[in-house]
Structure 1
Amino acid sequence: MGRAALRPWPGSGRSACSARTNDGCSTRTHTMIESTTHRIHTTDGYPIQVTRWKPTVAPHAICIILHGVQSHAGWYHRLGRSLAESGIEAHFPDRRGSGSNHQDRGHCPSSGRLITDVLEICRSVREPHPSLPVILGGISWGGKLVVTSAARQPNLIQGIALICPGLEPRVGVSTSERLRIAAAFFVNRKAHFPIPLADPALFTANPEAQRFIANDPLSLRTASAALLAASTFLDRKARRAPSRVEQPCLLMLAEHDRIVNNDRTRAYLERLKSLDKTIIEYPDAHHTLEFEPDPDRYAQDLVDWINARWASHHQRNQVASD
């Protein structure tokens, strides 16, 4: 039986938003931009698939978005197109063992390896544009990797965006399941356990999107003891990271998020060393903003936040180089 191909969320096919610069001008191109995929081979030989959205004009920033524990790049095509149509080169890697990465499905060696993967991806996508700022974004569980990676290599990552990040979750595995996972970690690290996000209603109130999640062949529904242990170790690293995160930070929160504890996440943001912190909250929204009735709104907010900090700087550099 053949492997499932990347299947994007069907609501992502409509045209993306129109970006605004600080002077009110639109930076959106008029050509419908389509994604391409390529693989980045990590230093331990794992081939990670990356979905890339490339602007039709010279980009003024690079944005790398890390998905959640269950999702994959195919859930976020609208966001990718929105970024690219606004002149921001967007990269959406599927985490090793997730999405279109079928090798060692649902498994990873360690939390340190996941952070190393992120940093290697950042270096790889920046190589053709060494002067451009790199903004690392994390959706849900991906937020853990964003703050730990930004703390590890601050010179590589110029800004971070936390989109309903799973830094302070409401849901988790039971105590008895934790004990079983811990036992398996020492005897069979590739043993699989259910990811505690089985109900699509946790992600969205959109019935069409709930059906999409329930039937998505690339969604990750179980994880190895090693991956679940890595998640716990990432939690610990994330708790120690704030004093080393100095980059500008954008936090997006959904009012009716059933996965993320918003109050504790706001408190986490306040602990970051960064002097440039922005919070945007979405009334009546649920966890996965891509599935909201108006997903262009959060995409536009991300574009505006990036442009306000880096678009004019890039333009000044371009003038100086000319």
Structure 2
Amino acid sequence: MPFFDGARGRMHYRRWPVDNGVASVLLLPGTGQHSGHYHRFARALRAADIETWALDTSGQGLSEGDHGNPGTLAELVADARMLFDLVHAASPRTPVILMGHSLGAVTVLALFGAAEPETAGASADSAALRAYPLRPALSADAVAGLVLSGTPKRALGGGASGAAGTPLPRGLPILAVHGVEDRRAPIDAVRVWTQRHESVDLREYADSGHDLLHEPVHARVAADIADWTQGVVVGLARRP
């Protein structure tokens, strides 16, 4: 089983390889989830010639750490960057799509120094949202695009209409997938945030909640992500 040495212990990850894949998706799960929950999603991407990698967050799955404390956002970013380096080293010429669900989506944004939590109120994962501001751990040209699933409003400037919003890398393709009935991360905030960023493609799923890839709509969500990823790769190939 594959591991790497993180700052807080051994970190486990899974890889679903594809021969001559068109892209690699690096998935960061949400709180209480791990890479073993994403075999079905990886099979769907494999059918589209897309390779999948997924991290076990600290304390989850087979990774060492405190199950109840995933760590600060700076620590989560450091772990994600280490796995990104492994993905890039394995296939240097293959475009990489960074994908995060819930806390993983916050981590993806923070990799670019682009997460804005709410300043007031405590909520789940609050310990992981300390240590702001963060310096970018990746540059926009290091990845082909981002996929954000169930992004909490605390990472989007609180979703207030007058907020500055999360500063995103200019021109970087971003797909946001969100359940209309998401009670953990209500969709209103991501709707407001999306309107402020022309590079974000928001896909809404009716009668669906927070964990889209484990709900009845999972096949459509996976297909949308695969189609969008292939479109991004085609766009890269057409660049002069």
Match of 2:146 among 141, 149, 160: 160
Q: Establish whether residue 305 from structure 1 lines up as the match of residue 228 from structure 2.
A: yes
Preserved contact between residue 140 and residue 163 of structure 1 (Cα < 8 Å)? yes
Give me the whole-angstrom Cα distance separating, in 2, the residues matched to 1:258 and 1:108.
Answer: 22
Give me the whole-angstrom Cα distance separating, in 1, the residues matched to 2:109 and 2:99.
Answer: 9
Aligned to 2:180: 255
Structure 2 stretches lacking a partner, 5+ long: 114-135, 158-162
Preserved contact between residue 242 and residue 271 of structure 1 (Cα < 8 Å)? no
What is the Cα-based RMSD across aligned positions, in Å? Answer: 2.6
Letter in 2 for 1:285: S
% identical equivalent positions: 25
Q: CA deviation at 1:292?
A: 2.1
Preserved contact between residue 150 and residue 157 of structure 1 (Cα < 8 Å)? no
Give the total of aligned pairs. 210
Cα deviation, 1:74-99, whole Å, max 9, x if unaligned, reads 22221111112211110010111122
Match of 2:3 among 39, 57, 70: 39
Aligned to 1:223: none
Give me the whole-angstrom Cα distance separating, in 1, the residues matched to 2:63 and 2:43.
Answer: 22
The structure-2 alpha-carbon separation of the partners of 1:271 and 1:147, relative to structure 1 and needing over 3 Å to count, comes to farther
Q: CA deviation at 1:67?
A: 0.7
Match of 1:276 among 192, 199, 222: 199
Q: Which has the larger radius of gyration?
A: 1
Structure 1 stretches lacking a partner, 5+ long: 1-36, 170-233, 318-322
The structure-2 alpha-carbon separation of the partners of 1:133 and 1:145, relative to structure 1 and needing over 3 Å to count, comes to same
Cα deviation, 1:239-285, whole Å, max 9, x if unaligned, reads 9882243321101111211111211112223344xx43211111111
Aligned to 1:133: 95
Q: Establish whether residue 78 from structure 1 lines up as the match of residue 52 from structure 2.
A: no
Give me the whole-angstrom Cα distance separating, in 1, the residues matched to 2:24 and 2:175.
Answer: 15
Q: Establish whether residue 286 from structure 1 lines up as the match of residue 209 from structure 2.
A: yes
Q: Establish whether residue 264 from structure 1 lines up as the match of residue 227 from structure 2.
A: no
Match of 2:12 among 24, 49, 65: 49
TM-score (norm 1): 0.59
The structure-2 alpha-carbon separation of the partners of 1:270 and 1:116, relative to structure 1 and needing over 3 Å to count, comes to farther
Residue 226 of structure 2 aligns to a residue whose secondary structure is: helix
The structure-2 alpha-carbon separation of the partners of 1:267 and 1:235, relative to structure 1 and needing over 3 Å to count, comes to closer
Q: Establish whether residue 144 from structure 1 lines up as the match of residue 106 from structure 2.
A: yes
The structure-2 alpha-carbon separation of the partners of 1:90 and 1:155, relative to structure 1 and needing over 3 Å to count, comes to same
Aligned counterparts, 1:178-193, within 5 A: none
Q: CA deviation at 1:309?
A: 1.3
The structure-2 alpha-carbon separation of the partners of 1:303 and 1:109, relative to structure 1 and needing over 3 Å to count, comes to closer
Letter in 1 for 2:81: L
Q: CA deviation at 1:296?
A: 1.1
Residue 41 of structure 2 aligns to a residue whose secondary structure is: helix
Aligned counterparts, 1:62-73, within 5 A: 62-73=24-35
Letter in 2 for 1:279: L
Letter in 2 for 1:120: M
**Residues 45-54 or 251-260, more deviating:** 45-54
